[in-house]
Structure 1
Amino acid sequence: MKNPIPFLLALTFLSACTVGPDYAGPPDLASARVPDAAFARQQADTSSAMPLLANWWVALDDPVLTELEQMAIIGNPGLEAAQARIAQARASVEQERANRWPTAGAQATSIQAEVPGLDLQTNNSPPQGGPPVDEENSSLSIYNLGLSANWEIDLAGGQQRKIEAANALAAGSVATAADAQVQLTAEVARAYIALRERQLRIASLRQQVTLQEETLQLTIQRHQQGAIAAFPIGQANSILQSLNADLAATEADAETYLNALAVLVGLAPGNLDDFLAGPVPLPLPPEQVNIGDPASLIARRPDIRAAERNLAAATARIGVVEAARFPKISFMGILGIGGTSPSDVFDLADLSAIAVPQLQWGFLDFGRTAAGIDQAEAAQTEAEARYREIVLGALQDAENSLSRFAQQRRTVAALALVEQSATHSAELNRQRHEAGVISRAHLNAAERERLMAEANLQQAIAALTASYIAIQKSLGLGWEGPDEGS
């Protein structure tokens, strides 16, 4: 080819074409009638102001919880694995980008062949006046040292679509890692609240056991004095054993949460026992909770972002399959030196060059490409439906958590009144006991009622804080928003 420039320009123009649909963004959700301004279950104690994205737990004002969250973000093996998957996805993008360009390499070749009946190294014409050539001389020796290159022109844009799909999957892996952090931070907070509630309940149960042991001894003494029958002894002992059983179960629960928290932060069980010794007061959610609006939730929540990126990748894969319908042009080139003896590889005069253009077009494949396109389009339809499903599920999570949060606030308010009443009653009974109106056993019973009311209130507060954590999780909070790559 004397002037290859027009040919190369034509290839460049053709390679700029990209088959398949262009991704137009996430699908329209108008048919689902998603509200824009506010959540359907939003209450007066919530605000449409934008919530704190990353460190939402600081609103609970618990330094121990804050430290646990930071330890989990740094040390959790699951997050480390998610980061490794991001690195894999980004390396895949670089690999697909590199596939657009030629490959080149060095090669050294030595060929030794025996071909009976053929003289491949000498002239078959006998020299004038000389003896005939030995027709059995059929050995062949070739030595070559040089460079080789291969390049396939991306005429239909199939490789470009592969890059688009790889980019989308890389961004999806970032969103998936962010979702893993959302799940992790919520789980750490939930386990922490459950642990603190169990520790408070253990302290309460131990006090109740002490009071009931005293009541049992007093009952035995009164029976021995002939003041009462034996039946109250069995009743008092039954209450004591029930309290001991509740105490043992609660202690086991506390140890389970200690183990869970240790593993969540990347430590072996037992390493946080001293750090999390209790009991300590439960953290309370703020009076006003910022929740944003449904549109901001859809834009922010990582699992929705991951689903949207998977849809983009599925759209790009249609173009990858459609590119198989078009011809493929590739080039192979070899540049080297060599000959029939080892010394020829050092003779620069024996320079050889080979250029091999190749055109491939699978115009008859009995429907294989068409079936592949149908499969890719069906996968895109599935990804789009999956996106809508995840959006609706996320909105359901948010609405449910808002409802539970409002209900738990009412429950805490009601049980706070019960606890106040029990405390007042216990104080009156203490005064009556000091005045000699009631026995010590009756005072102990009133004090146990107060402790039980206090424990029920603490359990309700724990449920309220847990519902606040559920709101943060449903809103997709707890991640930093790292660069998603390109």
Structure 2
Amino acid sequence: MGVKQVTGRSSLEIKKLPQLTVCVLGALASAMLVAGCTVGPDFRPPALPEKTTAMAPSVWASTPDDATNRVTGAAIDESWWSSFNDPVLSSLVQRLVKENLDLAAASERVQQAQAARGVAASAGRPHVGASIAESHDRISSAGTANLVSHPDGAPLEYSDWNAGLSASWELDLFGKVRRAVEASDAGTDAAIEARRGIALDALAELACDYMTLRGYQAREAITRSNLTTANHSLSLVQNQYENGVGNKLDVARAKVRRDAIAASLPEILTTEQEAINAIGLLLALPPRALQSELAPVKDLPLLPPEVPVGLPSELLRRRPDVREAEARLHQATAQTGVAIASFYPDVSLNGSVGTEALNFGSLFALPSRAFSIGPTIDLPIFEGGRLRSTLKLRKSQQKEAAIAWQKTVLQAWRDVDNAITAYGNTQERRKDLVLAVSNARDALTAAQQRYEQGSVSFLEIDTAQEALLANEDALEQTEITLRAELVALYKALGGGWQVVG
């Protein structure tokens, strides 16, 4: 038995008679199969601290009792975009699933994770290789050859031919490879959940861009309607002035009102085009590729009368970010096991069979055969603190992953609660703005009638029209906000990614 130093590790190479070797190999293999020892911590699904669990919501917050569109505790709709009853939106979603570049890149990351798993698993499988080589050598007559007996007439130059097969198999008695495979499996799960999260983000972004487009088309219609009203008012004032009833100040005010309304149109048109291009980018299309399809004006999609939100207890198994955080924790736990297993011996079975001859013609002759077989045990003795530092690093990463999971859960609860609250309160704002618009229209009609009768100045019309425009615009923006908040609620609930699997 000899001891050979190999890069800071002691390698105990045991080479005995073939019969003894077979017995040793059989014993090691039996020990591996029977014991199945895997060191390191086993992963268990994480749990929140007791104080957090005690304060966890049992049901979600509710919208106001008089809300037109309310949330319910029914099971969530995984195809939530269909609740808007907009065929164009549903068609865009189907195209998004097939064409989105972020989703395509995320799919490649899943493939990479699966390939990395195969690399990790290969360390625990037998490795077999074949080789054939020829070298031409010359021995120096003035060198070490003088120290040994050299037959007279023996050539100083010769060729050496070698051919053979070699095999090795790491037995993984302490589970180092199995833990590495477990970590890779968890990494694959994390990549899958990350892809689902990207899908959910893309769906929400598409829906919000679509709502913005339809909302700004409605704002454009409102602005053009008010511009028509402003032109009518200007004509009225000019006629009054030409008939000697009005004055230049009223004419100037009417022109200012018309020009101010007209000046708001370019910004609205810009936002419409940006929304179309944003949708095109999500579908991997160049700018204006969807112009003919989306530019025709359509109404804002209707809000569903009820929005099913499920129960808080179901959220953690549905949200991709929570599931990804759990997979990352699993991966970190398995990597801690790899670090612990590094303290234990590595046992591998090695064997080779081949031939060696001084000429190719004798290479495969029976006397040219050679073989070697036996186990190798590598035991770490001194690594300069590398193993301990690695274990400390992995344990810290495991704790960090557990903290990240806990924070992700709290953020998930917060997102849903904030979205429900905003959705309910914005409906209250919409209700008030509907009344304000109605009153502003009545005020403008009354001001126009009184101006035609000569009982008030044009300032009354100008003020009433400004109020109407402001409230109509605010109401339309509120309608856009309501839909964006509903999309945010659907996203917070974690439904919709199922469309990509």
TM over 0.5: yes
Question: Which residue of structure 1 aligns with residue 176 of structure 2?
Answer: 158
Q: Is the 8 A contact 1:119 1:138 kept in 2?
A: no
Q: SS state of the match for residue 90, structure 1? A: helix
User: Aligned AA for 1:50?
Assistant: A
Separation of aligned partners in 1, 2:486 and 2:267: 26
- The offset of 1:253, in angstroms, is 0.9
Displacement of 1:439 after TM fit? 10
Task: Give the conservation status (yes or no) of the 8 Å contact 2:25–2:349.
Answer: no
Counterpart mapping for 1:162-201 below 5 A: 162-201=180-219
1:90 aligns with 2:108: no
1:223 aligned residue: 241
The equivalent position to 1:51 in structure 2, one of 68, 76, 87, is 76
State the shift of 1:307 in Å: 0.4
Moved more, 287-296 or 185-194: 287-296
Map of 1:387-426 to 2, 5 A cutoff? 387-423=405-441
**Which residue does the alignment assign to 1:69?**
93
Q: Secondary structure at the match of 1:46?
A: strand
Q: Secondary structure at the match of 1:300?
A: coil
- 1:193-235 superposed Cα distances (whole Å, 9 cap, x missing partner): 1111100111111222233234334434443444333222322
Following superposition, the deviation at residue 455 of structure 1 comes to 3.8
1:2 corresponds to which of 14, 19, 23: 19
Q: 1:124-159: CA deviations, max 9, x gaps?
A: 476xxxxxx157x43342112222212222122110
AA of the residue aligned to 1:177: R
Q: What's the counterpart of residue 130 of structure 1?
A: none
Matching residue's letter, 2:127: T
Distance of aligned partners of 1:246 and 1:434 in 2 relative to their CA distance in 1, 3 Å threshold = closer
Q: How has the CA–CA distance of structure 1 residues 67 and 460 changed in structure 2, closer, same or farther, with 3 Å as cutoff? A: same
Shift in alpha-carbon separation, 1:243–1:435, aligned structure 2, 3 A: closer
2:48 paired with 1:28: yes
Equivalent-residue separation in structure 2 for 1:437 and 1:295 (angstroms): 67
In structure 2, the partner of 1:39 is 60
- Between the aligned partners of 1:183 and 1:62, the Cα distance in structure 2 is 20
Whether the aligned pair in 2 keeps the contact of 1:172 and 1:305 (CA below 8 Å) is yes
1:103 equivalent in structure 2: 127
Q: Matched residues in 1 for 2:169 and 2:25: separation?
A: 15
Q: Identity over aligned residues, as a percent? A: 26
Contact 2:131/2:164 (8 A) holds in 1:
yes
Q: CA deviation at 1:240?
A: 2.0
* Partner Cα distance (1:231, 1:447) in 2: 17
Alignment deviations for residues 268-291 of structure 1 (CA, whole Å, 9 cap, x no partner): 111111111243221132222111
In structure 2, which of residues 35, 39, 43 is the aligned counterpart of residue 19 of structure 1?
A: 39
Change (3 A) 1:42 1:172: farther
What is the CA distance between 1:293 and its match in structure 2? 1.7
Distance 1:50 1:6 in 2: 60
Deviation per residue, 1:234-284 (Å, 9 max, x gap): 222222222122111111111111110111122111111111124322113
2: CA distance between counterparts of 1:63 and 1:229?
A: 53
The range that moved more, 175-184 or 448-457, is 448-457
Give the counterpart letter for 1:35 in structure 2. Answer: A
Contact kept in structure 2, 1:200 and 1:455, CA below 8 Å: no
Q: Please give the secondary structure, in 2, of the residue aligned with 1:74.
A: helix
- Counterpart of 2:164 in 1: which secondary structure? strand
Distance 1:125 1:270 in 2: 87
Q: Structure 2 CA distance, aligned partners of 1:265 and 1:143?
A: 61
Tell me: CA distance 1:49–1:452, structure 2 relative to 1, closer, same or farther (3 Å).
same
| Residues 454-473 of structure 1 mapped to structure 2, 5 A cutoff | 454-473=472-491
Instruction: Out of 82-91 and 354-363, give the one that drifted further.
Output: 354-363
Deviation, structure 1 residue 443: 8.0
- 1:261 pairs, out of 276, 279, 287, with 279
One-letter amino acid of the structure 1 residue matched with residue 435 of structure 2: L
Question: Which of 119, 128, 139 pairs up with 1:115?
Answer: 139
Amino acid paired to 2:74:
A
SS in 2 for 1:268: coil
Alpha carbons 1:41, 1:399 under 8 Å: kept: no
Match of 1:409, SS state, is helix
The letter of the residue matching 1:58 is: S
Cα 1:87–1:295, aligned 2, differ >3 Å: closer, same or farther? same
- The answer to which of 153-162 and 308-317 deviates more is 153-162
Which secondary structure does the structure 1 equivalent of 2:489 belong to? helix
Q: Deviation digits for residues 40-88 of structure 1, max 9, x if unmatched?
A: 46655221221012x1111111111111111111111000111111111
Shift of 1:17: 0.9
Equivalenced residue count is: 472
Q: Which residue of 2 aligns with 1:279?
A: 297
The 3 A distance-change label for structure 1 pair 7 and 43 is farther
The answer on whether the counterparts of 2:197 and 2:320 sit within 8 Å (CA) in structure 1 is: yes
Whether the aligned pair in 2 keeps the contact of 1:196 and 1:281 (CA below 8 Å) is yes
**Corresponding position of 2:3:** none
Provide the C-alpha distance between the structure 2 equivalents of 1:436 and 1:239, rounded to a whole number of angstroms: 21
Question: Any idea what SS the aligned residue of 1:27 has?
Answer: coil
Equivalent residue of 1:154, what SS?
coil
Separation of aligned partners in 2, 1:435 and 1:368: 92
1:325 is paired with a residue of what secondary structure?
coil
Structure 2 residue runs without a partner (length 5+) = 1-17
In structure 1, stretches of 5+ residues that fail to align are 127-132
Q: 2:12 aligns to what?
A: none
